[in-house]
Amino acid sequence: MNRALLRLAPLLLLPLVGGCGTLVSAASERVAADLRSAVLNHNDPDTVRDGVPAWMLMVDAMAAADPDNAALQAQAAHLYASYAGGFVAGDAPRARRLSTRARHYGRAALCAQRGDACALLDAPFAEFEARLARFRARDTAALFAAALGELAWIQAHADDWNAIAELPRAQLLLERIVALDHDFERGAPHVFLGVLHALRPPSLGGSPDRSQTHFEAALELTDGRDLMMQVLYAEYYARVTYDRALHDRILGEVLAAEVQADGYTLTNVLAQQRARELLASAGDYFFDE
């Protein structure tokens, strides 16, 4: 399980695709929207990796100036989770530092959204589950920010079984989001759930059938434009179920696809890079075929 969690880096780039609501003013909202669009439609991941920290610092300043703004805290959680998981996962100390900030911002988003949720993630599990059931559709953005922060932090601390033990809470957050809004963030919660069900054995709550259901739901919501979702489907579901035909077919389709797509270009470029790596290693993985 801990080795598998270290491969979640591409998954944590998905929050960049969706954005996260409104900011402090119309002007700042427009700036954030324009920056997000520029990042997502860029075809050079190295430029994005080098440039996004400036955006992170700007959001840090805005979030500090308005701690009661749930959307701002969520924006910061998205950025730090995506950057920690997607761009610096190979630098363990830095990933741990940045993911801890993502976790802080995700919890701050929940607290700003609902005052009774400030200590939700520290409550005993049964209490956590019962209180989570009270959340409504208006709370989904804050719930997603909290889930992202937890997942980024868990990934960065995958060598610590105490961190891995927090996975069920992150999964429940995602399940509540899907129950409240099936289409939220263009299917991103479904992809996270698809991966988690593939990673965890049935004895720990995993289910290959549920994994496939969530991946198929996500693919339908994006109409095939998000190549990263397809790569994750191949990497997690097809490999876990040892279905090489599905694995190779999906990755072949990804490599044949056009990467330029509004809102998906960056992750599509990265998806094709990952698809090549997976196909190159397929002979070692599916070793008995």
| CA contacts within 13 A on the Cβ side of 149 | 23
Q: Which amino acid, residue 120?
A: L
pLDDT at 21: 43
Average pLDDT of the chain is: 87
Q: Please write the tens of the pLDDT for every residue from 152-188.
A: 999 899 889 899 889 999 999 999 999 999 999 889 9
Rounded average pLDDT over 64-84:
89
User: Is the per-residue pLDDT at 37 higher than 80?
Assistant: no
Q: Where is average pLDDT lowest: 19-23, 89-93, 145-149?
A: 19-23
Q: Please write the tens of the pLDDT for every residue from 96-150.
A: 999 999 999 999 999 999 999 999 999 999 999 999 999 999 999 999 999 999 9
Contacts 24+ apart (CB under 8 A), 134-139: 135/176, 135/180, 136/180, 137/180, 137/181, 139/113, 139/114, 139/180
Higher-scoring residue by pLDDT: 263, 108? 108
What domains sit in the chain, N to C, each tagged with a CATH number?
1-177 (1.25.40.920), 182-289 (1.25.40.920)
Q: Which amino acid, residue 105?
A: Y
Q: Please write the tens of the pLDDT for every residue from 198-241.
A: 888 787 778 999 999 999 999 999 888 899 999 999 999 999 99
Q: How far apart are CA 275 and CA 215, in angstroms?
A: 17
pLDDT at 12: 58
Q: Where is average pLDDT lowest: 34-43, 67-76, 241-250, 271-280?
A: 34-43
For the entire predicted model, the pTM comes to 0.89
User: 4 pLDDT band (50/70/90 cuts)?
Assistant: very low
